[in-house]
Amino acid sequence: MGDRDLPQVLATSVVRSSHEGESHGGIYLVDLSTGDYEEVVRWDYGAISWEGAGAERGLRGISFYEDRVLIAASDELIVYDKDFNIVDSFRNTYMKHCHEVYRSGDVLWLTSTGFDSVLGLDLNAGRFPIGYRVSLSYPGRLARRFQLLPRYSVESFDPGGGGGPSPRDLIHVNSVWVHEGALLLSGTGLSHVLEVRDGRISPLARVPKGTHNAQPFREGIIANHTEGNQIAYLRRRGRIDRSLGNHIAYLRRRDRIDRSFPIIAYDPADLTHSSLPADHARPSFGRGLCIWKERLVIGGSSPATISAFDFDTGERLACVNITMDVRNAIHGLEVWPF
């Protein structure tokens, strides 16, 4: 895979701990072959909550539909044309602190961390026909204390009607995918990638807690192991026996990290805004992940950097830094299809 055989990618960012009146995110078109990039959207929308570190700041998940670019903000899906003119937008009562999105046919799935839910948007009809709320419990106090034998449940609801779930962010659902006819989701508060099929939920694979962007790849799961400052590939060790109950997944042999790709670390002296607490902004925070041609692993990190690795050799083929402002973290990341 030569240096010239690299794609363009579209990336969004969140500028954590930015203040009212400042830009708090953007959209970047990045050429991994040349290292050139362009900020195609500067996001300085001011009607948000400025509390906390991330909260409603910035732009998040990315998808494409026909000749449109779909970008998630915290509480809104924004539809752009290929020249990044806004042509439409969608909101929903149960869309809160959206992270990643995934399109399957005419349906766009969006995570809603503020409701521990995922929402389905029918892109043809322009409405939200289905949502799923995920819950986590434990079989007893000791299991809860040590976070052992988690049990998962799911309930469907109508995002377009009343009677939906109340706000709740216990498992921080941040990733969604569709694979082999099932809806997959994960979150920083979960130790599994979960599979929703026919209205039932069960663990599909073990992942480290705190991961982002978990998605199926080859014979396993690849994800940003954010707490480990790496992109991790976990080879599956066989399917879970659902007949034993979904919490029995904790007793099966753990899916192990088969290989990993390190998040780039910069000299602290070169960083700006690095005096902020680690929970507000920290370097080497990995988020944003996509695959190209089933071999190139492309990941984002803070300060806004995009790195590309050859999965088979482990070689870092490209690294494009947009800013050394440690607050500016890549969030969404997709190969540019146009």
Q: Is the pLDDT of residue 38 over 90?
A: yes
Write down the pLDDT at residue 307. Answer: 98
Write down the pLDDT at residue 276. Answer: 65
The region that residue 177 occupies, defined by phi over 0 for left and psi between -120 and 50 for alpha, beta otherwise, is beta
The mean pLDDT of 313-337, rounded to a whole number, is 95
Largest pairwise CA distance in the chain: 56
What amino acid is encoded at 92 in this protein?
N
- Domain ranges (residues) in the chain: 8-335
Phi, psi (deg, nearest 5) at residue 279: -75, -10
Q: Is the pLDDT of residue 208 over 60?
A: yes
- Report yes or no: 29 and 8 within 8 Å, Cβ to Cβ: yes
Q: For the residues of 250-275, what is the DSSP string, one character each?
A: GGSPPPEEEEEEEPP---GGG-BSTT
- Report yes or no: 88 and 79 within 8 Å, Cβ to Cβ: yes
Write down the pLDDT at residue 235. Answer: 86
> pLDDT band for position 257 (50/70/90)?
confident
Q: Is the pLDDT of residue 150 over 60?
A: yes
Q: Go through the chain and tell me how many residues it has.
A: 338
- Report yes or no: 289 and 231 within 8 Å, Cβ to Cβ: yes
Q: What is the DSSP letter of 246?
A: G
> pLDDT band for position 246 (50/70/90)?
very low
The mean pLDDT of 139-165, rounded to a whole number, is 88
The mean pLDDT of 153-163, rounded to a whole number, is 92
Write down the pLDDT at residue 158. Answer: 96
> pLDDT band for position 277 (50/70/90)?
low
Write down the pLDDT at residue 178. Answer: 97
- Report yes or no: 90 and 127 within 8 Å, Cβ to Cβ: no
Write down the pLDDT at residue 242. Answer: 45
Write down the pLDDT at residue 243. Answer: 38
The mean pLDDT of 153-182, rounded to a whole number, is 94
Distance CA(176)–CA(77), nearest Å, equals 15
The mean pLDDT of 149-161, rounded to a whole number, is 92
Beta-carbon contacts of residue 167 (< 8 Å; ≥ 6 apart): 96, 114, 115
Q: Which CATH superfamily is domain 8-335 in?
A: Kelch-type beta propeller (2.120.10.80)
